[in-house]
Structure 1
């Protein structure tokens, strides 16, 4: 007797193998039969999957849903895409460890990437309890974050860590790994992770390597361009032996567009040398973040209130304007017509470029940027159009890439916001645009990059594949119609073609209807992941 039988499907098992016909039987939250199931086999429910693909649930390896799922555990924007597991804690922003004496700094720091929620827990165990109390439709696989470790140990100070502070970060990281974190991320252009030098990051990477855990890096901006950023990530892997995930690979300098092959050769050469490195990528030519993340790194030191106090001093304000005029990060010029306001607490400027707002307000754009950061702190987000579609396609097609949205699990309806469409359409877009329409990827390989490969990298042996004994996280989609429907500068629309999403054997999305079951769990890391 099965809880669920999916019949007459086209099975894509996640391994990269070609599609094949077959049935799937599910009982007790796991796949218990695969292939041809007897016509008279009993089941509580049977789903006819003719002309549909059945594959493992998608694992979004790069997200910022740490606090958005505390606010709403449905995770609608990801559930409707077929995502069954969110990997949180990326770009150095993790919801643990929390130092109670610096709670206001933690809340301020996390608001820049996830949601304005003040933590009431202190460690991964407490964070997991908070998520389970909320109730989850999808699973959560947590990373520790370098920025959060720094805030807990030393606040938001722009300086090297003392020996005692370094030991605190190492202890906190080791405890997080002991509690089941899958690794640690950095955000080396983002305050305060950016204040940590190479040696600090390497010391923490050695803690990860000792436990076989993952190092996910939002890379440092190093002159002259992104090649130096990739080189630093490779060097961390070389010196420490840690497995490196290079986050959201992209070329952000217009004069470097079209040079993706140069970066890919660096990854290939590192792998030949024996360094275990791969990268995640999302299928859009624009990014999104808090506007404050583009300020000179000294300005947000100490948090938003400290930034406001600095900007009240005329000499400091002028220093900020002078530094901004030299470009952001490693000298990339400010492209005011490419910065678009995507969310703001009071709705100011939504869908307008900074260039348009500057003209309408009659305020020079550098000064306007400072005023917006003063007014809204980390809670005003922008979309930045500064990437090339040619590079996106090259990165998606490369064997070392996996798919990560860099987005959040959030409700579709977003008042005072038109968030980046990656939040709502990353996975259907890969399937519909890049696999079916552009044929940048074979469909089975696209599914591999969303399922078995991220599961392998994380060390989730019973997820990411259609196999007897695997956890029944499953997606049923229409390969002929699947597509993303959300667009830049517009309210979100759900994707087309994702028919059914099953989490732990429970149907949580059924032809557009989200059920009441909340089978999602916070996953914990066990044994060392396999390394190819």
Structure 2
């Protein structure tokens, strides 16, 4: 046995014949890497043998042969990263290789987040299975989409018949293969739903083995009340709860992650399964229309409210209060990412736009500009309003996992949030190697076995014989993000190889064009 291989690391082979003939060549053999199995255990130097899309053996495979042998000495070999929070499912038709995601080491993406998903889900998943894409894909059923189909954007509670109709849609989506129910309670129409409605729908999802993932109702002044509501849903239904992209906005709220984590700890001690995902940035990315109060957008009635003096003033007052709280009335903290009606606005801040118009900065000018942009067709925007201390506190918590909240983007188009290119390498480079906020082993666990366990992906997220060969190889000394808010279209470095089902989708740092990804359906999928 080579002395470089860790003592005591026993060569493991699959039972039931998969690895019975140890002389059989492998399809792929990764030699000499530091194996991190995703459990949080220390790395062990070993070879990894892959055959028929699965990991077959791990250990000293020095005399073995393979159709494709890759020397990964000095690199970490880990399970492929599972991103529980992504956006851009429809763009997989145009960008099936998902370059900006797989180059980060992401091998499985979960969409349908923030309450938005296709309906019905079954036909979409069936069509997606025919697209031939690089990553594996799973979907939530979105509460907002369900509510919109039954009630439109009505600002009221559901009638018993409407609630029954929503339950039926969730039940069907779970049978179609959804991994759970997502909500976007910050957005219309999810913001109009009472907690009791969410409890009822979460019960349906839980009965089918799903989880509940929530973009909570509030992430600033009332964040603790929002966490409490989310935990209530888990407590009353028994459903595992995943708080989406946990963060706290507005300077006066910095540090409230201390209390939010305490609430989660108390809930976990009481038997609630709760976790959160996060991205390692101090800015978010969503529609600029979210600054307009939700009530003013109910029943698609914004123009009517703006036409009436009394309600127009209320809209403006609430917008200005929000901008003051979140951004301290600083328009440079709101950066336009994409405006469909004017591509030249991408990357510019509201301060840039006001300056170009020679308009003095004031709360009135900021709110008027936002309304103008929305009425011209809308924009997505990046909002700088979070604290680095909260980012690191959450990263240090064992309750968390990593999720990019990233879009699938075309290289060079618009000005997306850098999380779309850099989330996972940023954690490994900045927060593991440089800042030492968490260990490498724990970071990999947050990216692999933690989301796999939460989502019920039994044969992914761990590097062990029998598991699907979704793997990432990275250099812990050099892995880093390069995307910035000013120049987001930059791929990371230090991730030379990525495999999906044993097929290289990134090789020597380049996308291969292979598309071995599969649709992953939830535990409640009905038998065909």
Alignment root-mean-square deviation, CA: 2.0
Question: 3-state DSSP class of the match of 2:335?
Answer: strand
State the 1:353 CA deviation.
2.1
User: 1-side partners of 2:326 and 2:475: how far apart?
Assistant: 45
Aligned partners of 2:309, 2:89: CA distance in 1, in Å?
A: 37
The answer on 1:352 being equivalent to 2:375 is no
Worse-superposed segment, 283-292 or 217-226: 217-226
The 1:348/1:412 distance shift into structure 2, 3 A limit, reads closer
C-alpha spacing 1:207/1:329, structure 2 compared with 1 (3 Å): farther
- Counterpart in 1 of 2:318? 323
1:249-288 to 2 correspondences below 5 Å: 249-288=246-285
2:165 pairs with 1:142? no
- Normalised TM-score (structure 1): 0.89
Three-state SS of the structure 2 residue aligned to 1:92 is coil
Secondary structure of 1:91's aligned partner: coil
8 Å contact 1:182–1:524 — kept in the other structure?
yes
The correspondence for 1:483, drawn from 477, 480, 484, is: 480
Q: Is the 8 A contact 1:61 1:404 kept in 2?
A: yes
Residues of 1 paired with 2:109 and 2:284: CA distance?
19
CA–CA distance in 1 between the matches of 2:319 and 2:345? 21
Choose 506-515 or 16-25, whichever is displaced more: 506-515
Q: Tell me the distance in 1 between the aligned counterparts of 2:172 and 2:216.
A: 25
Find the counterpart in structure 2 of residue 107 from structure 1. Answer: none
CA 1:84–1:331 in structure 2 vs 1: closer, same or farther (change >3 Å)?
Answer: closer
| Map of 1:365 onto structure 2 | 366
Shift of 1:87: 0.8
Q: Name 2:59's counterpart in structure 1.
A: 35
Residue pair 1:6, 1:49 contacting (<8 A) in 2 also: yes
Whether contact under 8 Å (1:340, 1:383) holds in the other structure is yes
User: Are the counterparts in 2 of residues 86 and 140 from structure 1 also a CA contact under 8 Å?
Assistant: yes
**Structure 2 counterpart SS, 1:367:** helix
Q: In the alignment, what sits opposite 2:30?
A: 6
Provide the residue aligned with 2:76 in structure 1: 53
Asked if the contact 2:421/2:492 (under 8 Å) is kept, the reply is yes
> Per-residue displacement from partner, 1:499-524 (whole Å, max 9, x unpaired)?
00100111011123212321111101
What secondary structure is seen at the aligned counterpart in 1 of 2:294?
coil
Counterpart position of 1:18:
42
Residues 73-126 of structure 1, C-alpha deviations (whole Å, 9 max, x = no match): 21111011000000111111112x1xxxxxxxxxxxxxxxxxxxxxxxxx2221
C-alpha contact (below 8 Å) 2:209/2:523 kept by paired residues: no
The 5 Å alignment of 1:30-109 reads 30-39=54-63, 41-95=64-118, 97=119
1:449-502: CA deviation from partner (whole Å, max 9, x where unpaired)? 000110000001100011100000000111110000000021411000010010
1:160 aligned onto 2:157: yes
- SS for the counterpart of 1:293 is helix
Cα distance in structure 1, aligned partners of 2:220 and 2:393: 23
Residues 12-70 of structure 1 show CA distances to partners (whole Å, capped at 9, x for unaligned) of 0101000000011111110011111142x221100000111100000001111222223
Other structure's SS at 1:86 match: strand
Could you tell which deviates more after superposition, 334-343 or 468-477?
Answer: 334-343
Distance, in Å, in 2 between the alignment partners of 1:59 and 1:381 is: 25
Cα offset for 1:260? Answer: 2.3
Residue 423 (structure 2) aligns with: 426
Instruction: Give how far 1:222 is off.
Output: 8.3
The residue that corresponds to 1:246 in the other structure is: 243
Pair 193,527 (structure 1): closer, same or farther in 2 beyond 3 Å? closer
**Structure 2: how far apart are the matches of 1:457 and 1:216?**
10
Deviation of 1:223 (Å)? 8.5
Larger Rg: 2
Q: How far has the Cα of 1:253 moved from its partner? A: 2.2
Alpha-carbon deviations, 1:207-239, whole Å to 9, x = none?
122223100011112895311111111111112
Q: In the alignment, what sits opposite 1:114?
A: none
Give the C-alpha shift of residue 200 in structure 1: 0.8
Q: 1:308 to 1:449 in 2, by over 3 A?
A: same
* Cα deviation, residue 422, structure 1: 0.4
Partner Cα distance (1:34, 1:527) in 2: 32
**Runs of 5+ unmatched residues, structure 2:** 1-24
Tell me how far apart the structure 2 counterparts of residues 53 and 515 of structure 1 sit (CA, whole Å). Answer: 21
CA distance in 2, matches of 1:320, 1:334: 16
1:328–1:214 CA distance, 2 compared to 1 (3 A): farther
Matched position secondary structure for 2:425: helix
Summarize the alignment of residues 92-241 of structure 1 with structure 2, pairs less than 5 Å apart.
92-95=115-118, 97=119, 123-221=120-218, 224-241=221-238
SS at match of 1:427: helix
For residues 206 and 434 of structure 1, the distance between their equivalents in structure 2, rounded to whole angstroms, comes to 37
Q: Secondary structure at the match of 2:318?
A: helix
Cα gap change, 1:164 to 1:204, in 2 (>3 Å): same
1:130 Cα deviation from its structure 2 partner: 2.7
Deviation string, structure 1 residues 123-156 (Cα, Å, up to 9, x no partner):
2221123323332100111101111111111222
Look up the match of 2:412. Answer: 413
Number of aligned positions between the proteins: 495
Residue 437 (structure 2) aligned to one of 437, 440, 464? 440
Q: Given that residues 397 and 441 in structure 1 are in contact (C-alpha distance below 8 angstroms), is that contact kept between their aligned partners in structure 2? A: yes
Q: C-alpha distance in 2, partners of 1:222/1:279?
A: 13
The structural deviation recorded for 1:333 is 6.2
